[in-house]
Amino acid sequence: MGLDLNELAQNCGEWLRGTGPEPDIVVSSRVRLARNLAEFPFMAKATEVDRTEIERILRERIDLLKEEERLPRNLTFLDLGELNELDRRFLVERQLISRELAESEGARAVAVDPQEQFSVMVNEEDHLRIQVMRSGLDLQATWDAANRLDDLIEEQVTYAYSDKLGYLTACPTNVGTGARVSVMVHLPALVITRQIDKVFRSLQKISLAVRGLYGEGSQAMGDFYQISNQVTLGLSEEELTKKVADVVPVLLDYERQARDFLVRESQETLHDRVSRAFGILRTAQTITSEETLHLLSSVRLGINLGLIKDVATPTINKLFIHTQPAHLQKLAGMELDSSDRAIERASYLRKHLASGGDGVAEN
Amino acid sequence: MKCQRCEKPATFHITDLVDGEPKELHLCEQCAHTFLSPEEEDASEVIPAMAGLIAQAAVGETAEDLARLDERVCPFCGISFLEFRKQGRLGCPHDYAHFSRELEPLLVNIHGETHHVGKSPRHSVRDAEQQTQLIRLRREMKQAVAGENYERASEIRDEIKSIESARNA
Ligand SMILES: [Zn+2]
Ligand SMILES: [Zn+2]
């Protein structure tokens, strides 16, 4: 039972469906665990033979867990060396693998479940990167799921671990729990009111890290930010989860205050911004990925403030992903250069945002 | 807080030693990575953050002592301390034991702590030393088998067995 990437491209992961708590601001919750096999050197010193062996062992053990029905049978192991560049980029856009894993060389793989709730990267910076994603603010359930998956895999292999330092990782910044607990938040009003820097400064004071989504070379595209723990040693996984969870209500409060302020103090400007964004997205004949993210962010805000009524948040969530370069090409069924993509993207947006007829199925 | 080298938010806070004076650096992930792994530059010219930290920890040690430290090599994976400083990545689990004295101040700087308090695996060998010993023995056994030195391989196998049975006792 394979996983068809073309089919996967048609829909969107559970984590984007806006079903969890606080879906207007918290898009998703994520837990990532870094693990290494005790018998092998870390990636910096692993030979190609080591890498192949690591991949083989993990594939074998994961298959065994599937046979025993302790892992879902439809979990698919994808050999990244065998996938073409477009498919690998598609998986990055989908947040199922990291950019580093997509762009590296040699034996490497990812195990993905079709609901996209979890993925296991093999031979990334560490031998294993276990990732679980959930829609909305649901950190406890996300941690529980990651913990269970970790326990299952741990029954099959020997992790590099020391009583003093915990899980041993290639980079000392991950040692200890090896855990990154994060939430992806949409903070357009804090960006518009220029308060976002202030918020980040206070987050850093309590040693939380902030990253933009698709952050390469651009600051926080679409006003999405990933907030995660910086420290992995000296705090338990529960404490780390709590640390991130505790800050979310404060962020929600700030963002909502900023939204209230915009509605109160500059209603016309705000309405104008949202309407223009919606107008451009519905009529443009050619549009870049960057402009799309920017405008979709305003539309998403507009929906959440009740200024746009005929489109739903999950539709916009889906468009954020589907208008990315690799997704567009998968959906079009062909490779497109950047100017053809800009035309294809505009046409896709027109089709799915046309007034009266919202063509995006809420799957 | 913004990164000191670009517009992105700073997520790395590094204490570096410049002319013997500790200096705070605030960098984004990308700039920190570049900063911590000067690829082409001669390592003797730059004092990357980790070396700065080590200098902090080893007050009174001379430049020669630090140079000697850079030469230190993990007997298991072959990584030198200099290589680790340049790429910011360790070569094998044993490095945490082998370079423990040098890593300690780095861990304090990153995490403010040096002791794990979270979950632990239920099935792994707990004793790090035994674990690395087992890793080494398994490797040696593989090599012995590959070199058709079966006598040596069976000696090693017995050694592994005795460690494992002692552990399970
Ligand atoms: Zn920077
Ligand atoms: Zn080593």
Distance CA B55, CA B62 (A): 9
Query: Within the 84-113 window of chain B, which residues sit less than 8 Å (CB to CB) from chain A?
Result: 87-93, 96-97, 103, 106-107, 110-113
Q: Do A234 and A275 fall within a single domain?
A: no
Looking at the complex, does the CB of residue B53 fall below 8 Å from at least one CB of chain A?
no
The binding site of A for ATP consists of 28-32, 129, 180-184, 211-216
Q: List the CATH number of the domain containing A86.
A: 3.30.590.10
Is the pLDDT score of A209 beyond 60? yes
**Highest mean pLDDT of the ranges A18-32, A130-144, B61-75:** A130-144
Percent above pLDDT 90 for chain A? 70
Q: Is residue A260 part of a domain?
A: no
End-to-end CA distance of chain A: 21
Residue B127 pLDDT: 57
**Is A328 in the same domain as A198?**
no
Helices and strands in chain A: count of H runs, count of E runs: 13, 10
**Residue pLDDT, tens place only, A73-128:** 888 999 999 999 999 999 998 889 988 899 999 999 999 988 888 999 999 999 99
Q: Are residues A72 and A107 in the same domain?
A: yes
CA of B19 vs chain A CAs: smallest distance (Å): 26
Query: Is residue A331, in this structure, part of any structural domain at all?
Result: yes
Residue B103's DSSP bridge partners are none
Higher-pLDDT residue of B8, A124: A124
DSSP secondary structure code for residue B116 in this structure? -
What is the chain B residue with the closest CA to A158? B124
Instruction: Note whether A214 and A275 are same-domain residues.
Output: no
Please give the average per-residue pLDDT across B52-64, as a whole number. 53
Among A205, A237, A255, give the residue marking a domain's end: A255
Whether residue A159 and residue B29 make contact (CB cut-off 8 A), yes or no, is no
Give a yes or no: residue A361 inside a domain.
no
What percentage of residues in chain B have a pLDDT greater than 70? 63
Confidence at residue B47, expressed as pLDDT on a 0 to 100 scale = 33
Residues A302 and A249 in one domain: no
* Confidence band for B150, pLDDT divided at 50, 70 and 90: confident
What is the model's pLDDT at position B139? 74
Average pLDDT, chain A: 89
pTM: 0.80
Give the minimum alpha-carbon distance from A249 to chain B in angstroms, rounded to a whole number.
21
Which of B2, B116, B121 has the CB atom closest to A159's CB atom? B121
> Quick one: which of B2, B14, B28 has its CA closest to A216?
B28
Asked if residue A128 and residue A32 are part of one domain, the reply reads: yes
Residues A243-291 pLDDT 10s: 999 999 999 999 999 999 999 988 999 999 999 999 999 999 999 988 9
In this prediction, residue A2 carries a pLDDT of: 55
- Mean pLDDT on A234-249: 95
Which residues, in sequence order, are CB contacts of A157 under 8 Å at separation 6+?
A37, A57, A58, A61
For chain B, what is the mean pLDDT? 73
Q: Which of A277-281, A320-324, B26-30 has the lowest mean pLDDT?
A: B26-30
Confidence of residue B16 (pLDDT cuts 50, 70, 90): low
Among A205, A220, A255, which residue terminates a domain? Answer: A255
Query: Please, what's the b/e burial string for A54-74 (b: 16 or more CB within 10 A of its CB; e: otherwise)?
Result: bbebbeebbeebbeeeebeee
- Of A255, A285, A306, the residue that ends a domain is A255
Q: Contact, B88 vs B37, CB < 8 A?
A: yes
Helices B29-36 and B49-57 pack at an angle, to 10 degrees, of 70
Task: Please report whether residue A360 resides in a domain.
Answer: no
How far, CA to CA in Å, does A285 sit from each of A277, A326, A343, A351?
A: 14, 19, 6, 11
User: Are residue A241 and residue A282 in the same domain, yes or no?
Assistant: no
Continuous segment of H or E residues that includes residue A133: strand A128-135
Residue A286, domain extent: 265-353
Residue A303 lies in a domain: yes
pLDDT of residue B36: 56
Number of domains in chain A: 2
pLDDT for res A134: 93
pLDDT band, very low/low/confident/very high, at A10 (cuts 50, 70, 90): confident
- How do residues A164-179 score in pLDDT, each as one tens digit? 999 999 999 999 999 9
Residues A214, A272 within the same domain:
no
Instruction: Judge whether A363 lies within some domain.
Output: no
User: Looking at the domain assignment, is residue A232 inside a domain?
Assistant: yes
Encode pLDDT of B40-55 as tens digits.
333 333 334 444 454 4
Whether pLDDT at A238 is above 60? yes
Higher pLDDT, A12 or A141: A141
Q: Which chain A positions have a beta carbon within 8 Å of B118's beta carbon?
A: 166, 176-177, 179, 235-237, 240
Ranges A64-68, A156-160, A341-345, most confident? A341-345
The shortest C-alpha distance from B60 to chain A (Å) reads 25
For chain A, the residue count is 363
Residue A235 lies in a domain: yes
pLDDT in tens, B118-149: 999 986 555 556 666 776 777 787 788 888 88
**Is the per-residue pLDDT at A219 higher than 60?**
no
Do A164 and A307 lie in a common domain? no
Radius of gyration of chain A (CA): 21
For chains A and B, count residue pairs whose Cβ atoms are closer than 8 Å: 157
Based on the fold, state whether residues A192 and A313 are members of the same structural domain. no
Looking at the structure, tell me whether residues A56 and A173 fall in a common domain: yes
Same domain, A24 and A135: yes
| H-run or E-run covering B105 | helix B100-111
Write the ipTM. 0.87
